[in-house]
Structure 1
């Protein structure tokens, strides 16, 4: 059996991978996406109720809604999408092509590879207190899937990063009370959001940490928090506890491929080339001197990586894709959605 060869294989189905797939279609490349989990969306799947404000041209949108739109856009040019496969091996052949082997043993053949794996295989940092597992089925949460379940409840949030601050702000008009507990006086969220939280009704407990959960059967009823400086213990009655202590990142096999990985990220150049010819990177997985750690930055990384892959395959190709208003691949699609195109013409580079 002859296995199918792709021009581009994108490993990772988060925002960077999804937009790269769309742009790959604009450049008329045969494209495959391989995603470890059972859904496309990447890290954003953890925060479907989080409001996202900083995507250009998009008014504030819930994370889950943005995922839906990115997936729909990624499917525009009908890429092959493979779910539930963790890529473990990368082998470069004598002809310059690649074989990617997944944990299932399935092999994928590609002329180029773009790595958009985010922070690798993610898992939540659990609350490190003995016996807390029994509360995970009732009122201990590691992510917020639906804000409404906290209506009129006394909520304690443990953590101080972006998501903890955002959840605190979003729960103020919904919950009966919101308390945020953080080990440090400084919060890691965006400055504007931290200011908003400090000026709101959120009760801020710093520098404190959660040291014990008190419950009846499987339901948390109160929480003991300890002052990191004085060791003073305070007990708070709660209806729900949300823990946001960050994510554990696991690149596992990728670190054995020979990639230049430093401090948990792959180093790429201005063309988003890794140190392996024909392999490129985009999104949270990579770092470079002009890195912007926003979704908009991930989109730009994907465009530059894909353009590099295109020129690697076709050195005489235009350096960039034509804009969508002049791209030949959209002519028939515009007609299908009812757009009149009297002045359509191809812009030559």
Structure 2
């Protein structure tokens, strides 16, 4: 190992909500922290729906995914963690000194006493339409994510999918699209109950259980019509479209866990104990990566898991450390920062 590698107390793999909040909280615990993210920017899965409105983060009014990412990043940078982007960790090895050597696919290495895996569902890849030739329309009017709502203004839009994102996109686009139809291959939707109810009440048509089975184009450059097939009866319908949005979920690659010597359950998720620790001592977990009884599948839940993982990592390094950090209103680490904030408020009030 290169002896010049800088040793970190904790290295967080993943820069989504769980990883970002873990980085903030580890700063509260005086831990030297590094975040490693596969994508070219921080934000995790929220990057897929930057314009979707998020209502369920405690203490915050509804805000867009992009705004939430901005807030999370700003908070995560409070204690100036090291951030590494565009790196996929290929190998993790425990060294003789008990610390971990992380090696990226690029060959770059990282040296850490503990690790927090906040990888979500793994490196995400959208499930694409399994229709031959459909990929040619991705440059025109076949979409797998919604980056800008206004490009669908005044158009006849069909959304294929039944999860949270599909339902939320339907509710966001319904007021601006000329018409909006939702097609889902199951009878029930997987989104939150209130969101599903709103979608069914306002959308032109909600067609279940239908699957998108073919696409047609008059000029070969864009989809003009789609074929949907009833999953029970085989009935076929044709729908004219200006734009098609497909949200059939994501495929995540978690195979590296086994290479890293981490035992997984029947769903390929890491086996963890009550400390959020994997079967490799010193490697902890948070966020969508893990599953356990009574897990809260909300962004708010990932914040709790991130803090719990950091607390466990801290106790792993320092068994005599406090179980958790002091709350921010009493934490001395924020004393100077509070003075700076109060000074800015005072200056602003006097202007």
Which position in structure 2 is the counterpart of 1:45?
Answer: 47
For 1:60 and 1:94, how far apart are their aligned partners in 2? 49
- C-alpha contact (below 8 Å) 1:267/1:288 kept by paired residues: no
- C-alpha contact (below 8 Å) 2:24/2:75 kept by paired residues: yes
State which of 163, 166, 171 in structure 1 corresponds to 2:165: 163
Map Cα deviations across residues 274-301 of structure 1 (whole Å, 9 max, x no partner): 1111110000011222421111111101
State which of 27, 33, 40 in structure 2 corresponds to 1:25: 27
Q: CA deviation at 1:106?
A: 1.0
State which of 234, 242, 246 in structure 2 corresponds to 1:239: 242
Q: CA RMSD in A?
A: 1.3
* 1:302 to 2:323 alignment: no
Q: CA deviation at 1:133?
A: 1.1
For 1:201 and 1:247, how far apart are their aligned partners in 2? 25
Map Cα deviations across residues 191-214 of structure 1 (whole Å, 9 max, x no partner): 111111122233011111111111
Which position in structure 1 is the counterpart of 2:62?
Answer: 60
State which of 131, 136, 139 in structure 1 corresponds to 2:138: 136
- C-alpha contact (below 8 Å) 1:165/1:193 kept by paired residues: yes
- Tell me the TM-score normalised to structure 2 length: 0.94
* 1:85 to 2:87 alignment: yes
For 1:66 and 1:108, how far apart are their aligned partners in 2? 29
For 2:192 and 2:252, how far apart are their aligned partners in 1? 22
For 1:254 and 1:202, how far apart are their aligned partners in 2? 44
Which position in structure 2 is the counterpart of 1:324?
Answer: 328
Which position in structure 1 is the counterpart of 2:347?
Answer: none
Structure 1, unaligned runs of 5 or more: 341-349
For 1:201 and 1:289, how far apart are their aligned partners in 2? 35
For 1:45 and 1:155, how far apart are their aligned partners in 2? 22
For 1:316 and 1:227, how far apart are their aligned partners in 2? 62
Q: CA deviation at 1:339?
A: 5.5
Structure 2, unaligned runs of 5 or more: 345-351
For 2:316 and 2:251, how far apart are their aligned partners in 1? 34
Which position in structure 2 is the counterpart of 1:183?
Answer: 185
Which position in structure 2 is the counterpart of 1:345?
Answer: none
Q: CA deviation at 1:99?
A: 0.5
- C-alpha contact (below 8 Å) 1:269/1:288 kept by paired residues: no
Q: CA deviation at 1:147?
A: 0.9
* 1:284 to 2:264 alignment: no
Q: Secondary structure in 1 aligned to 2:223? A: strand
State which of 189, 201, 207 in structure 2 corresponds to 1:199: 201
Q: Note the 1:241-260 alignment, pairs <5 A.
A: 241-260=244-263
Q: Secondary structure in 1 aligned to 2:181? A: strand
Q: CA deviation at 1:90?
A: 1.0
For 2:248 and 2:149, how far apart are their aligned partners in 1? 19
Map Cα deviations across residues 244-264 of structure 1 (whole Å, 9 max, x no partner): 000011023222222121203
Q: Secondary structure in 2 aligned to 1:287? A: coil
For 1:38 and 1:318, how far apart are their aligned partners in 2? 36
State which of 223, 228, 232 in structure 1 corresponds to 2:231: 228
Which position in structure 2 is the counterpart of 1:270?
Answer: 274
Q: CA deviation at 1:135?
A: 0.6
Q: How many residues align?
A: 340
